[in-house]
Structure 1
């Protein structure tokens, strides 16, 4: 097996987030569930919601792309594969991710759906309610996969959200085959409870076939996977089926199980929760960076918690502080 050029290669939705301060009343009036993510299925509906929102701030996003941005900020070499369109938001996304030093070679699609966007409403308590129009992102074809890039990654990191569309789902399955053929590890983040509810059996088929080495989940997702309200029992049962399970518990910290090894850490303190957008993505960045550096489970979890705490202290899903220096300071 050749030495990996990248610590992590991620495949996910290439999306630009449009962040807007909002109120509980607006979210209720729009019929949204606060703190959740719902899909918008056509660009006209997305445009209509955007017109009713307050002033917005454009920030490149997408779950796996946020994780890669965090990894790059931590100094880890990485790459991203995701579909954009040949339009203004596509140019914004490509510029932003390349400016971080991330390898991004996916060609923009001409015609068809525009670049995906996520309309994020942030309430005063820091909770984010997301309305996602996937656009071109969900149409990632197998032809967009660069086999050499995938083979060059120590870990292939897959975003569960992409499992919802048949074309991108097929591309992800093919990417797993490529990574496995190169002797690489595969990590999957379950992304959201609605993803689990729609694809639970498919995810278990991957897990039971030994295709997933690292699984990321939160309380809701692990409960949905194991179909129980008992989080502790769900974590224990799921951990028995996957080589490494990482489960985040929000303000109650996070834990990881890998064989007979188990570690749990508290959440890092933060002066004020401003925006929880991307917290789980940056947690995954810290944890994966720790694993790439050969750290133990507990240290990797702490790195994830430090990155997540920085993320929720400001608006937007990507680091604003020097998280590499922050991690080094907190671990010293």
Structure 2
């Protein structure tokens, strides 16, 4: 039986807006507007399902949407354990995509804000080899308390933890020291270049690795078109380039990367092979609209 991964994170509906040019205040601009399933945790689970990983996804959704989401994830090969919320609807994210593929977000996390300890029972950890948590689940007090409780239970069982830093804006909001304290000791930290800079106060790749490697066993820094780097307390151990592809929408690229990397690690791949798998998954993701595999 393959190693099982428990993913904890947001479920969102992504409204993706691709304007033909700059926004015109007070007037119209033609645009492509698409509706896609999303959310960082949901994206990670979907990409893991796409590579036939044994994956469980725990999250919270609006009560009216539970059955639809369960059926959707089942179709992706993901076991979804979804708590329902009678007060808040499922989350919605509006993504505005620039012509170069860069994104800006408007976020209503909805039911995700009410994720609680009862939604993450210890039984979710049965037969699990790795817990993957999106940083979005750490940026509000309620979900953060639930996730930190799950971290403690996972560590008691010697289950590895991987954390995706997720958002520069929210890292600034909650404070770097707090985020690092909440996640310190995790087996993996995944961050993009901007997140690594915020977390370390440095723009130098090797220093970022050494600083973050003092808190995490393995550090991966995603470098966009330049590929990715892997290392730890001794600095950069490995860098690999990204293939040249046409970027349509970078939504979910980091989530695809995490799925490719971690599924390969749990499959016994070397770090070089795993990093290559993460980069390949991220490159696949940016060539289509939306954060999940089509």
Say yes or no: TM over 0.5: yes
Q: How many Å apart are 1:247 and its aligned residue?
A: 0.6
Matched, 1:180 2:155: yes
**Residue among 94, 100, 104 paired with 2:70:** 94
Task: Tell me the distance in 1 between the aligned counterparts of 2:213 and 2:206.
Answer: 11
Task: Tell me the distance in 2 between the aligned counterparts of 1:131 and 1:94.
Answer: 25
Write out aligned runs for 1:1-332 (5 A).
Answer: 7-26=4-23, 29=25, 56-88=33-65, 90-110=66-86, 112-197=87-172, 198-208=174-184, 210=185, 212-258=186-232, 262-270=237-245, 272-320=246-294
Q: How many Å apart are 1:5 and its aligned residue?
A: 7.2
* Count of residues paired in the alignment: 291
Task: Tell me the distance in 2 between the aligned counterparts of 1:96 and 1:127.
Answer: 28
Q: Structure 1: which 5+ residue stretches go unaligned?
A: 31-51, 321-332
1:255-297 Cα deviation digits (max 9, x unpaired):
1115668221101221x11000011110111100110111111
Task: Tell me the distance in 2 between the aligned counterparts of 1:204 and 1:118.
Answer: 26
Question: Does the 8 Å CA contact 1:82/1:106 hold for their aligned counterparts?
Answer: yes
**TM-score normalized by structure 2?**
0.91
Question: Does the 8 Å CA contact 1:20/1:121 hold for their aligned counterparts?
Answer: yes
Task: Tell me the distance in 1 between the aligned counterparts of 2:278 and 2:12.
Answer: 23
Question: Does the 8 Å CA contact 1:22/1:123 hold for their aligned counterparts?
Answer: yes
Task: Tell me the distance in 2 between the aligned counterparts of 1:268 and 1:187.
Answer: 25
Q: Structure 2: which 5+ residue stretches go unaligned?
A: none
Question: Does the 8 Å CA contact 1:60/1:96 hold for their aligned counterparts?
Answer: no
Q: How many Å apart are 1:69 and its aligned residue?
A: 0.9
Question: Does the 8 Å CA contact 2:253/2:291 hold for their aligned counterparts?
Answer: yes
Q: How many Å apart are 1:217 and its aligned residue?
A: 0.6
Q: How many Å apart are 1:55 and its aligned residue?
A: 5.7
Q: How many Å apart are 1:98 and its aligned residue?
A: 2.1
Question: Does the 8 Å CA contact 2:19/2:32 hold for their aligned counterparts?
Answer: no
Task: Tell me the distance in 1 between the aligned counterparts of 2:52 and 2:175.
Answer: 34
Q: Out of 56-65 and 247-256, give the one that drifted further.
A: 56-65
**TM-score normalized by structure 1?**
0.81
* Root mean square deviation of aligned Cα: 2.3
Task: Tell me the distance in 2 between the aligned counterparts of 1:53 and 1:232.
Answer: 43
Q: Structure 2 vs 1, CA of residues 104 and 207 (structure 1 numbering), >3 Å: closer, same or farther?
A: closer
Q: Structure 2 vs 1, CA of residues 53 and 135 (structure 1 numbering), >3 Å: closer, same or farther?
A: farther
